[in-house]
Amino acid sequence: MNFLLKAATVIDPKSPFHNQTVDILIKNGTITDIDTTIKVSKDTEEVKLHNLHISQGWFDSSVCFGEPGYEERETILHGLQVAAKSGFTAIALHPNTFPIADNSASIGFLKSKAYNNAISLYPIGALTMQSTGIDLAELYDMQQAGAIAFGDYKKAIKNPNLLKIALLYAQNFNGLVLSYPQENDIAGKGIVNEEEQSTLLGLKGIPALAEELQISRDLFLLEYTGGALHIPTISTAKSVDLIREAKKKGLQVSCSTTVHNITLTDKELTTFDTCYKVQPPLRTQKDIDALLKGIADGTIDMITSDHRPMDIENKKVEFDNAKYGTIGLESSFGTLNELLGIDKTVEILTKGKSVFKIKEQTIDKGNIADLSLFNPEGSTTFTEKDILSTSKNSALIGKPIKGTSYGIIANNKIVLK
């Protein structure tokens, strides 16, 4: 298919057309011409949108759907449509399905479901068999089938020797190991941040120490073994400090935080809305300030929606009994743009590709068109009407957003809202 983007402002510091408003001609998935004005031909679809801006395609490093096993929460095909309309051209999909994606056949299934789609799906294989934390899964076989990393979603690795072996083994094929940062014995039966708010509400708390202790252990192991370690969804001030120091030492460590952990504090819990029951828990303003500083100085490599659809039966219950998780694909761009501004938002939404070894496509003639389309202007409030997902468990309903995503052009296809 051929597309002509009219009057598109380019946001891509690596592109010679950065901050310029140009026409962009795309033929058979490749950018063939960029100029001030290009005339549309009969075999070309013209794309003309209000205040159109484009950037390299966005990547979300932490996404869950449901299929196989929990299709009532979200199917793969519908989830990919949600991601594309939210501006993402690539996602990393977690293995927390039923059955757990812990072998090459399950990775192949996930890849096949996304075949010939506009958005690229990159599976994360389980680090351990059935994500039980006992025996390593078939890491190399899964990588050969298309897995880009290995981790047990929201499950900490209790046995330090298991993580040591994983880091050593994965070096044989340049594998990336994920380790969820929570020391479960310290966290105990806690469900929210352990602070003044948890005491006032009578909810059992998870101290920041639970995250920080696990990160400290994992960084010691990484220093011993070498290899590549990704620490997903950090949430405390001390965690930022620990990773900052590790990077200064030259350790190959990366990390992410979530959109909701940099915009919402545990003050939200006063409503007992189960959409605010998330892992890691919402922390304090002090933690948010430290996370934002870590984003600004590059300590935090990427921000994820940590999109986790959850059906109503698991959310419309007592707070103690509700499942963890919030959706976030639809609200990520607008929330980040409101908080960080457009240049930093685009940077942070594309930066994670290098960590997960996904090829970047600069906006220039001759390169593959892998583009996110958006309007960075216009302030509004995120409402349930903005939710595209099958599940509606969003922690960001009622929060301010700025701008809107139009969709994507990728894999020689276009998806628009």
CA-wise closest residue to 305 among 231, 394, 203, 417: 394
- Cα 401 to Cα 338: distance, rounded to the nearest angstrom: 5
What does the mean pLDDT of the chain come to? 97
pLDDT digits (tens, 9 = 90+) for 176-224: 999 999 999 999 999 999 999 999 999 999 999 999 999 999 999 999 9
Identify whether 311 is a catalytic site residue: no
**What average pLDDT score do residues 274-303 get?**
98
User: How many Cβ atoms are within 10 Å of 186's Cβ, its own excluded?
Assistant: 17
Choosing from 60, 152, 266, 306, which is the catalytic residue?
306
User: Which position has the token pair 């519908």?
Assistant: 78
Residue 26 pLDDT exceeds 90: yes
Of 89, 46, 73, the closest CA to residue 371 belongs to 89
**Alpha carbon of 396 to those of 21, 265, 266, 327: distances in Å?**
32, 12, 13, 9
Q: 124-161, pLDDT tens digit by residue?
A: 999 999 999 999 999 999 999 999 999 999 999 999 99
Domains observed in the chain:
2-53+365-390+400-416 (2.30.40.10), 57-355 (3.20.20.140)
DSSP letter assigned to residue 36: S
End-to-end CA distance of the chain: 19
What pLDDT is stored for residue 329 in this prediction? Answer: 98
Q: How many CB atoms lie within 10 A of CB 20?
A: 13
Q: Would the pLDDT of 320 be above 90?
A: yes
Q: Is the pLDDT of residue 1 over 90?
A: no
DSSP H helical ranges for 146-252: 160-170, 184-187, 196-201, 208-225, 237-248
* Residue among 237, 366, 362 nearest 292 (CA): 237
The pTM for the full model equals: 0.96
The 176-178 sheet, strands edge to edge:
58-63, 88-93, 120-125, 149-150, 176-178, 228-231, 253-258, 302-304
Cα dihedral: 261, 291, 123, 75 (round 10)? 20
